Chains A and B, each alone.
Chain A
Amino acid sequence: MREIVRIPVEECLPTAAETLAAQGVPADRAPTEPVAETLREALDRFRELAAPVAIVSDVAATEFVAVYRGEGRNAHPSPLADIFPKAGRLLMFAVTIGGRVGDAISQLFAAGRFDLGYLLDAVASSGTDGLAQRLQENCAGHAPAGTVFLRYSPGYCGWDITGQRRLFAALRPEEIGITLRESCLMEPLKSVSGVMVAARAEDHRFDNSYPFCTECATRNCRDRIAAVELLAPTERK
């Protein structure tokens, strides 16, 4: 399977609450009216400018060994190195909301509308994560029985960011407009790439006690694993 998937903006549009939560605003703190109004404008701009698209491609575990190894800079041990050999299916993927949102953010900052620029950036970040999540959900039907997909990306969980080079060579997301700089930076910035691993819920579990976990700025692995376990409750025994 190798497929380009266009996903409607509304399916990855975050809510105002999700956007604020991702920015560290506690759920019990209602935004002030000026912030709420600016956030509504940011959500409207996202709806107008985002062009969500994804590419997904099967990869055999034997082939993925070389993709994962990359340039030999991964942390050892790492969760993905333990999990992907047990996978029932591996899907490389890349998603982007396109470049127009990023251009608009730059223009807003240049014009002194940094409140709107910042919130549009926040909406776009949540929207891009939402797009990756939606792709993962859409692919659920492709997971072998008793397994669920969970995604991993270069730059996280011990998979060195230089792994992007092998991943790009294998996946070729240039087809949907994502390019890779020498520094392994993806353009458009609001893009996510990686691999979706279909495995049993218990195989997805890992302790966040790896050396790199202490420096992790994301720290959302617990929620991600919990979500997988909810999808496969029968596997929890």
Chain B
Amino acid sequence: MELLNQIATSLQEGDEVRVAELTRQAVATKIPAKQTLDDGLIAGMNVVGRLFRDHEIFLPDVLLAARAMYAGLDVLRPLLASEKVPTQGKVVIGTIQGDLHDIGKNLVGIMLRGAGFDVIDLGNDVAPEKFVETATRENAQVIGMSALLTTTMTGMQRVVELLDAKGQRGRIKTIIGGAPVTAEYAREIGADGFGFDAASAVERVKELAAQ
């Protein structure tokens, strides 16, 4: 559909004003909100994600596109709620206790929302207990944790242990990332996934949420 293609293209160009305007047109012409979301906004973000993975565009371009996506989502949100359109899943994210670095975690949150996930961002300096309590209470599928210091990485293991103790490990998956974190460390502490960067984290969350 031409209008939805225009939304996807404008989103790729990071034109938030145009995306909001076209999304309002889609609503006015009675295109179902779910279709506008999937074939316009998410389709556009998928192209952006692919271009980013292929190093054809860079993070600032992705963030401009994400802002445009949010402009469209703001228009659709009331309709998506009233039509009870399900999201791709629910993810609880945060920077682990003792750490205040949150840019990487913020990027993951932005990209997850762009991929259609419901994201609960607990912020930074988050206690392991809070990750587990929130994910359990909110019925989240995935917990995403970030650490930038070797001294705080151990808090991630505590989250996995708490999930285990509460019998939630397996139902709630865990993914970790951050400068000192490696895939080997993720395996070592029993995390279900590792995100090398924001884009790969989103791909891994998609897989984990689908399990």
**Would A114 and B150 be within 8 Å (CB), given that A38-B60, A181-B98, A189-B101 are in contact?**
no
| CB of B107, distance to nearest CB on chain A (Å) | 7
Q: Are B61 and A183 in contact (CB under 8 A)?
A: no
In the bound complex, residues from chain A placing their C-beta under 8 Å from that of B61 are: 32, 35
Asked if B31 is at the interface of the complex by the 8 Å CB criterion, the answer is no
B-contact bits for A94-122, CB 8 A (1 contact / 0 none): 00000000000110010011110111010
Q: Are B63 and A118 in contact (CB under 8 A)?
A: yes
Asked if A233 is at the interface of the complex by the 8 Å CB criterion, the answer is no
| CB nearest to A181 among chain B residues | B98
Q: Are A183 and B58 in contact (CB under 8 A)?
A: no
| CB of A134, distance to nearest CB on chain B (Å) | 24
| CB of B198, distance to nearest CB on chain A (Å) | 11
**Would A112 and B99 be within 8 Å (CB), given that A23-B58, A162-B151 are in contact?**
no
In the bound complex, residues from chain B placing their C-beta under 8 Å from that of A39 are: 60
In the bound complex, residues from chain A placing their C-beta under 8 Å from that of B182 are: 215
Contact partner of B60 among A118, A181, A183, CB < 8 A? A118
Q: Are A119 and B60 in contact (CB under 8 A)?
A: yes
Contact partner of A31 among B60, B63, B67, B102, CB < 8 A? B60
Q: Are A24 and B58 in contact (CB under 8 A)?
A: yes
In the bound complex, residues from chain B placing their C-beta under 8 Å from that of A162 are: 151
**Would A118 and B103 be within 8 Å (CB), given that A34-B14, A112-B67, A161-B149 are in contact?**
yes
Chain B: number of interface residues, binned into ranges:
20 to 34
B-contact bits for A118-162, CB 8 A (1 contact / 0 none): 110100000000000000000000000000000000010000111
Tell me how many residues of A have a C-beta within 8 Å of chain B: 35
* Bound-state Cα–Cα, A181 to B124, Å: 14
Contact partner of B58 among A25, A161, A182, CB < 8 A? A25
Asked if B100 is at the interface of the complex by the 8 Å CB criterion, the answer is yes
Q: Are A114 and B58 in contact (CB under 8 A)?
A: no
| CB nearest to B179 among chain A residues | A217
In the bound complex, residues from chain B placing their C-beta under 8 Å from that of A32 are: 14, 61, 64
| CB nearest to A121 among chain B residues | B103
| CB nearest to A31 among chain B residues | B60
